[in-house]
């Protein structure tokens, strides 16, 4: 069939088809190359060649809010004014009559300065210095962190050599309220302290971008926008109550000044949950104006400082001997104001007295070092050590605050003869405020030590709520011991020398003071100055709030009585803030002596 | 006969073929006349093309138009955002507890000591039930110790001469005749009245 005449057209067809297919294949290869393989490069090229533009979509850094949702830290936009020194010069403007007037640079500089709060000379100096350094300089900061109002006013000057970079910044509406906790950020947006730093993962926003093509007149060409949306940071809710925090900061500020102390703190913890409701200290930092405070006041001393607690530890030792030493409210020891123990250790009380037959309540009311030392002999040192560990001494807190310290509790094998007794009344051991309030939380809360927390939750931009993982509560002492200890501490508040000063009319409260000696850094103690503490809770019959007041080296009154007025006011305010009802039952008076 | 028989019987086998007249070919006298294409199709096609063209142009004009509109609105939104930011900056810090407390202090309000509660069910008074002593438990204005850089220079609403950092000059308000110290300034323009319509 295939004759010469039929073969020829078919071959032509095949050849033609092959050519067409080859060309097509070539196009397909090129198409894939352009559209898929090198697509990104080409898009980038097109953006450059065409009137493409792109800008960063800033995500907003998350807010930090208090217990009730009030903003402690929010985000605003600030602007950096940038001068182009090379092109700085006179401006041509039209006046009211439509005539063109040339405004000399000197006057423009004065206009700029009037807005930024600099002087005309400052502005001129920025330019001349930049030019002196590099004659072709096109970049010099006029001022960073301009407000929107300043920015708009500067734009209205109409100087082409003045441009602006917008960047997100932080604002703290309440100023120094909780500034010690919230922390602050650098002008470049890096978190530098406090919760801003430790909870950065929650707060951090992810920037997006918007790229588009513009027509000749700057209008975006429809359909050319490519948006990579920004993701806002999460909202971080703290357990802090800002009104209470303010009151306590104001209060401790006054108390520190009244007592001529170096610094002071007030911490409030919700007994049943371990949530920190306020952590006030003075001096502190206003995150809006960090440079106004000394470097050593820019972080939280509540979490960072360790101290020898002194007599507040008698509450812990008392709990231990009740729980593990077979003691009860009627058990007694005989102690005079100065006791020498068989191992050679000598313990003295703060006041002179003959040999009393003290009950445990009496020992705590008089804060007798000798008395608690004798009681401490009713349990082994190892037992005391283990209990102190269970109370959380030396293990920090569950908060893990930026720069948080831990107390130093030596193992029993390293206790010398004196330390064997000193540890029972809080010397020869250091602790921190969070550790101490954690330990007292166990006493107040039926023996159950709740992990402290400062962060309530983090709500991400997509609505997911993340709550921090907290360790399990620890049963430190029995409920029975806790009840007995609460009764003893209530009697301390009623019968101690400062009873009148700490009384909150209508309420039953429990307290214990501590006057800790301070290390002089060379193995001894400083003379005449102390770290004083007053810790307590209310209502004593059903503890709900724990308050700890500390003063570092008060001088007007050097003992822990210095803390009493502040403690009383702080406790009153806490009970008011949380609408805790006054007591309807009467306390039981415990005898001091057996 | 046999042949005649055969002939006579043969046509019986295929009469149908011969009976079909349509299968006959014939010579046509002249080619059939080409039918003229109907005009209407052309019109429809052309009109369609035009319509598409017009619609596209219209759409394009509309899109461009709205993109300008969008641009104006974006500009407007930007202006409003700036305005919002300026206003936000203006009021920043006014909600802070320091400011509230300083304002209240300037009015002579005190932070009272222990609270009392009235139980509605039986009218019982819970708590100490004492009157305020007249002294605040903290001095929010005279000894302000919680700074706020946002409102350092902002005058108080209740005492325009004072800020959260500065005490109002209350000591000078002693009456000339040695009378009540907190006498309000005399009203010269009559009683202030709200302007209503």
Distance CA A33, CA A30 (A): 5
Longest pairwise C-alpha distance within chain A:
141
**Residues of B whose CB is below 8 A from A292:** 147, 149
**Residues of A whose CB is below 8 A from B150:** 171-173, 175, 288
Residue A48 — very low, low, confident or very high, per pLDDT cuts 50/70/90? Answer: low
Domain of B76 in residue numbering reads as: 39-91
Residue A419 CB-density burial (10 A; 0-12 exposed, 13-18 middle, 19+ buried)? middle
The percent of residues in chain A predicted with pLDDT above 70, rounded, is: 97
Residues B97 and B65 in one domain: no
Residue B23 is assigned to a structural domain of this protein: no
- Residue B179 pLDDT: 41
Distance CA A304, CA A415 (A): 25
**Residues of A whose CB is below 8 A from B139:** 254
Nearest partner of A165 among A153, A186, A151, judged by Cα: A151
Q: Is the peptide bond before A539 cis (omega within 30 degrees of 0)?
A: yes
CB A271 within 8 A of CB A439: no
Taking all residues of chain A, what is their mean pLDDT, rounded to a whole number? 90
CB A348 within 8 A of CB A456: no
Contacts of residue B68, defined as CB under 8 A and 6 or more positions apart, other chains included, come to A219
Say if the Cβ atoms of A292 and B147 lie within 8 Å.
yes
Describe the crossing of helices A242-258 and B97-106 by its angle, rounded to 10 degrees. Answer: 70
- Residue B7 pLDDT: 47
Say which range, A34-48, A264-278, A295-309, A507-521, has the weakest mean pLDDT: A34-48
Minimum-distance CB partner of A506 among B68, B126, B150: B126
Nearest partner of A281 among A309, A240, A238, judged by Cα: A240
Q: What is the sign, positive or negative, of the torsion defined by CA atoms of A213, A217, A221, A225?
A: positive
CB B139 within 8 A of CB B102: no
Domain layout of chain A by residue ranges: 11-42, 85-160, 242-577
Residues B96 and B110 in one domain: yes
- Residue A53 pLDDT: 75
State which residue of chain A sits closest to B100, comparing Cα positions: A243
**Residues of B whose CB is below 8 A from A174:** 93, 95-98, 148
More confident residue, A93 or A71: A71
Report, as an integer, the average pLDDT of A559-565: 89
Say if the Cβ atoms of A582 and B126 lie within 8 Å.
yes
Distance CA A265, CA A566 (A): 10
A158: left (phi > 0), else alpha (psi -120 to 50), else beta? left
Say if the Cβ atoms of A250 and B140 lie within 8 Å.
yes
Say if the Cβ atoms of A246 and B126 lie within 8 Å.
no
**Quick check: B175 pLDDT over 60?**
no
Spell out which chain B residues touch chain A, with contact meaning CB-CB distance below 8 angstroms.
Answer: 63-64, 66-68, 70-71, 82, 85-86, 88-89, 92-93, 95-98, 101, 111, 113-117, 126-130, 137-140, 143-151
Distance CA A197, CA B162 (A): 36
Say if the Cβ atoms of B95 and A173 lie within 8 Å.
yes
| pTM for this entry | 0.79
- Residue B91 pLDDT: 86
**Quick check: B174 pLDDT over 90?**
no
Residue B150 is assigned to a structural domain of this protein: yes
What are A307's strand-pairing partners? Answer: A431
Nearest partner of A439 among A495, A514, A370, judged by Cα: A514
Nearest partner of A356 among A593, A175, A74, judged by Cα: A593
Cα–Cα distances in angstroms (integers) from residue A471 to residues A10, A386, A399, in the given order: 85, 19, 10
Task: List, for residues A460-518, the tens digit of each pLDDT value.
Answer: 999 999 999 999 999 999 999 999 999 999 999 999 999 999 998 889 999 999 999 99
Say which range, A360-374, A434-448, B177-191, has the weakest mean pLDDT: B177-191
From the CB of residue A146, how many other CB atoms can be counted at a distance below 10 Å? 22
Say if the Cβ atoms of B148 and A221 lie within 8 Å.
no
Task: List, for residues B78-122, the tens digit of each pLDDT value.
Answer: 889 889 888 988 888 888 999 999 888 888 888 876 788 888 888
Residue B20 — very low, low, confident or very high, per pLDDT cuts 50/70/90? Answer: low
Contacts of residue B192, defined as CB under 8 A and 6 or more positions apart, other chains included, come to none
Q: What is the sign, positive or negative, of the torsion defined by CA atoms of B180, B184, B187, B191?
A: negative
Distance CA A341, CA A343 (A): 5
Residues B154 and B87 in one domain: no
Residues B164 and B96 in one domain: yes
Say if the Cβ atoms of A174 and B126 lie within 8 Å.
no
Helix, strand, coil content of chain A in percent (nearest 5): 40, 25, 40
State which residue of chain A sits closest to B94, comparing Cα positions: A173
What is the total count of domains within chain B? Answer: 2
More confident residue, A56 or A513: A513
**Quick check: A58 pLDDT over 60?**
yes
- Residue B132 pLDDT: 67
Minimum-distance CB partner of B147 among A148, A176, A584: A176
Distance CA A53, CA A257 (A): 58
Best to test chain A binding among B121, B147, B167 (most A CBs inside 10 Å): B147
- Residue B183 pLDDT: 47
A582: left (phi > 0), else alpha (psi -120 to 50), else beta? beta
Report, as an integer, the average pLDDT of A277-295: 91
**Residues of B whose CB is below 8 A from A169:** none
Residue B28 is assigned to a structural domain of this protein: no
- Residue A85 pLDDT: 86
Say if the Cβ atoms of B85 and A254 lie within 8 Å.
no
Taking all residues of chain B, what is their mean pLDDT, rounded to a whole number? 76
- Residue A434 pLDDT: 95
CB A197 within 8 A of CB A402: yes
Q: Is the peptide bond before A283 cis (omega within 30 degrees of 0)?
A: yes
* H/E stretch holding A100: strand A100-103
The last residue of one of the domains, among B56, B91, B126, is: B91
- Residue B153 pLDDT: 83
Task: List, for residues B43-90, the tens digit of each pLDDT value.
Answer: 999 999 999 999 999 999 998 888 889 889 989 998 898 898 889 888
**Quick check: A278 pLDDT over 80?**
yes
**SS3 track for chain B:** CHHHHHHHHHHHHCHHHHHCCCCCCCCCCCCCCCCCCCHHHHHHHHHHHHHHHHHHHHHHHHHHHHHHHHHHHHHHHHHHHHHHHHHHHHHCCCCCHHHHHHHHHHCCCCCCCCCEEEECCCCEEEECCCCCCCCCCCCCCCCCCCCCHHHCCCCCCCCCCCCCCCCCCCHHHCCCCCCCCCCCCCCCCCCCCCCCC
State which residue of chain A sits closest to B136, comparing Cα positions: A569
Q: Beta strands of A504-544 (E only): which ranges?
A: 510-519, 525-538
Minimum-distance CB partner of A254 among B67, B130, B143: B143
Residue B196 — very low, low, confident or very high, per pLDDT cuts 50/70/90? Answer: low
**Quick check: A584 pLDDT over 50?**
yes
Distance CA A344, CA A421 (A): 11
The torsion defined by the Cα of B89, B94, B97 and B103, in degrees rounded to 10, comes to 150
Distance CA B107, CA B156 (A): 10
The percent of residues in chain A predicted with pLDDT above 90, rounded, is: 59
Residues B107 and B76 in one domain: no
Tokens of A455: 């962060």
Best to test chain B binding among A184, A506, A538 (most B CBs inside 10 Å): A506
Say if the Cβ atoms of A253 and B151 lie within 8 Å.
no
Minimum-distance CB partner of A175 among B101, B113, B148: B148
Residues B98 and B162 in one domain: yes
Nearest partner of A346 among A427, A431, A413, A430, judged by Cα: A427
- Residue B172 pLDDT: 40
Minimum-distance CB partner of A505 among B70, B117, B128: B128
State which residue of chain A sits closest to B63, comparing Cα positions: A222
* A264: helix, strand or coil: strand
Tokens of A11: 């071959």
Distance CA A467, CA A451 (A): 14
Distance CA A376, CA A407 (A): 21
Cα angle A207, A190, A290 (rounded to 5 degrees) comes to: 135
What is the fold, at CATH topology level, of the domain defined by A242-577?
Beta-lactamase (3.40.710)
- Residue A473 pLDDT: 94
**Quick check: A525 pLDDT over 90?**
no
Angstroms from A569 CA to nearest CA on chain B: 7
Report, as an integer, the average pLDDT of B155-172: 70
Residue B74 is assigned to a structural domain of this protein: yes
Residues B77 and B44 in one domain: yes
* H/E stretch holding A154: helix A148-157
Minimum-distance CB partner of A175 among B126, B138, B149: B149
Say if the Cβ atoms of B68 and A220 lie within 8 Å.
no
Task: List, for residues A193-223, the tens digit of each pLDDT value.
Answer: 999 999 999 999 888 888 887 776 667 777 7
Contacts of residue B1, defined as CB under 8 A and 6 or more positions apart, other chains included, come to none
Distance CA A92, CA A104 (A): 9
Minimum-distance CB partner of B148 among A70, A151, A174: A174
CB A311 within 8 A of CB A429: no
- Residue B177 pLDDT: 43
State which residue of chain B sits closest to A221, comparing Cα positions: B67
- Residue A320 pLDDT: 95
- Residue B167 pLDDT: 56
- Residue A559 pLDDT: 86
- Which parts of A496-593 fold into alpha helices (H)? 499-502, 564-577
Sole residue written with tokens 């992990």: A451
Residue B23 — very low, low, confident or very high, per pLDDT cuts 50/70/90? Answer: low
**Quick check: A561 pLDDT over 50?**
yes
Residue B152 is assigned to a structural domain of this protein: yes
Residues B87 and B97 in one domain: no
Residue B54 is assigned to a structural domain of this protein: yes
Residues B98 and B161 in one domain: yes
Describe the crossing of helices A369-376 and A312-324 by its angle, rounded to 10 degrees. Answer: 30
Residues B62 and B86 in one domain: yes
Tokens of A547: 């308050």
| DSSP per-residue string spanning A423-484 | GGGT-S--B-HHHHHHHHHHHHTTTEEPPPBSEEEEE-TTS-EE----PPPEE-S-HHHHHH
**Quick check: B186 pLDDT over 60?**
no
State which residue of chain B sits closest to A168, comparing Cα positions: B85
Best to test chain B binding among A58, A77, A156, A173 (most B CBs inside 10 Å): A173
CB A104 within 8 A of CB A116: no
Task: List, for residues A211-260, the tens digit of each pLDDT value.
Answer: 887 776 667 777 778 888 889 999 999 999 999 999 999 999 999 999 99
Q: Beta strands of A152-258 (E only): which ranges?
A: 162-171, 208-213, 226-228, 235-238
State which residue of chain A sits closest to B93, comparing Cα positions: A173
* H/E stretch holding A107: helix A105-116
Tokens of A164: 């602006």
Tokens of A138: 């096109």
Distance CA A230, CA B95 (A): 29
- Residue A502 pLDDT: 92
Residue A123 — very low, low, confident or very high, per pLDDT cuts 50/70/90? Answer: confident
Longest pairwise C-alpha distance within chain B:
172
Number of A–B residue contacts, CB under 8 Å: 139
Contacts of residue A99, defined as CB under 8 A and 6 or more positions apart, other chains included, come to none
**Residues of B whose CB is below 8 A from A254:** 138-139, 143, 145
Residues B55 and B81 in one domain: yes
Residues B49 and B99 in one domain: no
Residue B173 is assigned to a structural domain of this protein: no
């Amino acid at each position: 069939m295939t004759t010469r005449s039929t073969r020829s057209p078919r071959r032509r067809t095949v050849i033609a088809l092959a050519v067409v297919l080859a060309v097509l294949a070539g196009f397909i290869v090129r198409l894939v190359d352009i559209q898929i393989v090198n697509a990104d490069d080409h898009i980038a090229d097109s953006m450059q060649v065409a009137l493409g533009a792109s800008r960063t979509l800033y995500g907003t850094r998350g807010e930090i809010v208090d217990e009730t949702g009030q903003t402690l830290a929010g985000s605003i936009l600030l602007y950096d004014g940038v001068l182009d020194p090379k092109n700085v010069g006179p401006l041509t403007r039209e006046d009211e009559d439509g005539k063109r007037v040339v405004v000399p640079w000197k006057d423009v500089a004065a206009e700029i300065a009037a807005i930024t709060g600099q002087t005309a000379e400052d502005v001129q100096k920025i330019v001349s210095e930049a030019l002196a350094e590099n004659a072709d300089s096109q970049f010099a900061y006029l001022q960073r962190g301009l407000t929107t109002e300043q920015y708009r006013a500067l734009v209205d000057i109409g100087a082409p050599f003045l441009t602006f970079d917008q960047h997100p910044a932080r604002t703290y509406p309440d100023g120094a309220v909780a500034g010690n906790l919230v922390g602050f950020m650098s002008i470049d947006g890096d978190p530098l302290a406090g919760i801003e730093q430790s909870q950065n993962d929650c707060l951090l926003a992810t920037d997006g971008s918007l790229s588009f093509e513009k027509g000749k007149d700057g209008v975006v060409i429809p359909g050319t926008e490519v948006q990579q949306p920004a993701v806002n940071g999460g909202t971080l809710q703290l357990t802090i109550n800002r009104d209470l925090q303010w009151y306590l900061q104001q209060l401790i500020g006054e108390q520190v000044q009244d007592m001529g102390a170096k610094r002071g703190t007030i911490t409030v913890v919700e007994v049943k949950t371990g949530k920190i409701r306020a952590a006030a200290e003075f001096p502190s930092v206003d995150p809006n104006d960090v440079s106004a405070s000394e470097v050593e006041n820019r972080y939280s001393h509540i979490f960072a400082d360790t101290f020898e607690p002194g007599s507040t530890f008698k509450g812990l030792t008392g709990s231990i001997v009740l729980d593990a030493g077979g003691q009860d409210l009627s058990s007694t020891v005989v102690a005079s104001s100065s006791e020498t123990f068989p191992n050679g250790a000598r313990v003295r009380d703060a006041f002179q007295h003959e040999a009393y037959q003290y009950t445990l309540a009496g020992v705590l009311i008089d804060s007798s070092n000798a008395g608690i030392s004798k009681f401490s002999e009713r349990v082994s040192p190892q037992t005391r050590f283990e209990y102190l560990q269970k109370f959380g001494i030396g293990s920090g807190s569950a908060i893990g605050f930026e720069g948080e310290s831990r107390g130093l509790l030596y193992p029993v094998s390293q206790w010398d003869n004196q330390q064997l007794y000193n540890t029972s009344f809080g010397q020869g051991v250091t602790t921190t405020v969070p550790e101490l309030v954690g330990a007292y939380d166990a006493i107040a809360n039926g023996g159950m030590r709740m992990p402290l927390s400062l962060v309530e939750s983090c709500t991400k931009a997509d609505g997911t709520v993340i709550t921090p993982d907290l360790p399990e509560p620890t049963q430190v002492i029995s409920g029975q011991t806790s009840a007995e200890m609460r009764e003893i501490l209530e009697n301390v508040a009623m019968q101690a020398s400062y009873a009148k000063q700490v009384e909150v009319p209508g309420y039953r409260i429990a307290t214990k003071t501590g006057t800790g000696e301070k290390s002089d850094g060379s193995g001894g103690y400083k003379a005449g100055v102390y770290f004083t503490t007053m810790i307590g809770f209310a209502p004593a019959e059903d503890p709900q709030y724990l308050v700890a007041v500390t003063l570092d080296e008060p001088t007007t009154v050097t003992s822990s009585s210095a803390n009493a007025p502040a403690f009383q006011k702080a406790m009153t305010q806490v009970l008011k803030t949380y609408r805790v009802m006054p007591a309807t039952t009467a306390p039981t008076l415990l005898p001091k002596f057996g | 006969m046999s042949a005649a028989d055969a002939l006579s019987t043969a046509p019986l086998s295929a009469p149908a073929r011969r009976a079909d007249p349509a299968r006959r070919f014939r010579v046509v006298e002249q080619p059939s006349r080409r039918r003229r294409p109907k005009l209407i199709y052309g019109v429809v096609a052309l009109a369609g093309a035009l319509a598409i063209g017009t619609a596209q142009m219209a759409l394009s004009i509309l899109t461009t138009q709205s993109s300008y509109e969008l641009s104006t609105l974006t500009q407007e939104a930007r202006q409003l955002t700036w305005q919002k930011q300026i206003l936000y900056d203006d009021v920043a810090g006014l909600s802070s507890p320091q400011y509230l407390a300083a304002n209240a202090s300037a009015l002579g309000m005190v932070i009272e000591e222990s609270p009392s509660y009235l139980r509605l069910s039986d009218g019982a008074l819970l708590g100490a039930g004492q009157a305020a002593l007249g002294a605040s438990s903290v001095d929010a204005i005279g000894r302000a110790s919680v700074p706020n850089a946002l409102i350092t220079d902002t005058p108080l609403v209740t005492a325009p001469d004072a800020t959260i950092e500065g005490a109002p000059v209350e000591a000078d308000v002693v009456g000339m005749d040695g009378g009540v110290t907190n006498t309000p300034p005399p009203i010269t323009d009559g009683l202030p009245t709200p302007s209503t319509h």
